[in-house]
Structure 1
Amino acid sequence: MGITGTDVAKEATDVILTDDNFASIVKAVEEGRAVYSNIRKFLTYILNSNMAEAIPSVAFLLSRGAIPLPLTIMQILAIDLGTDMLPRLGLGTEQPEEGIMNKPPRKRGEALLNKKTFIIAFFRYGLILSKICNVWLLLYLLYAQ
């Protein structure tokens, strides 16, 4: 307990209740789960929104410049700054989901970015966006002078 506890007890513990109310532990756990969920959503969004930028860049590097880049580095940065900032801020400050306290606790060693997150980010969204880049490359090769 933060107010009535001794200094020795405060130094020996991992959690200090500043208001001497055990109910605040539940609120702290809920807030922690919400932050963890928002970070996971944020990282999934970053992975899938930048996949369309990463795949052509990797193709350019692997082809040693034979496949042209659809966007320059400055254009990619401008797109990221112009279109991605507000959605990212929204994901970072999102309110806790309904029933977040009804979910079982996550496993202690569970990674923030797990296999399911990568599958969602890459296959569901990334491949759709990479198809758009493939169409651009096809049109470029057909109509390039």
Structure 2
Amino acid sequence: MYILFGIPLPLGTVTILCIDLGTDMVPAISLAYEEAESDIMKRAPRDPLRDKLVNERLISLAYGQIGMIQVNKLIKVLTTWDKNMLSFMPEKKYRGQFGKVAMTE
């Protein structure tokens, strides 16, 4: 988004990595203490026609409800972006000139 549209990054790369590693630790620790199942290989596999991993309810929730909320927020951000809301950021003066700035600095 920054390279194409000049929108500054909300979080840096290292910050995103710290958040990712921090949130992945709790599930990993809980899986380490889970009891082993002795009969896991004796069970029959799931029926692919009856037991689906993604069903209609999940798709409607993901695309219908959550997707509409995300589209609404994206439209709100794009409509309020240029109303001097972020004029304190130094990237504003470089908008649309990424190639020139990258070559000269």
Q: Same fold (TM over 0.5)?
A: no
| Bigger proportion of residues as helix | 1
Which range, TM-score by smaller chain? 0.3 to 0.5
Greater relative contact order, per chain length (Cα 8 Å cut-off, separation 6+)? 2
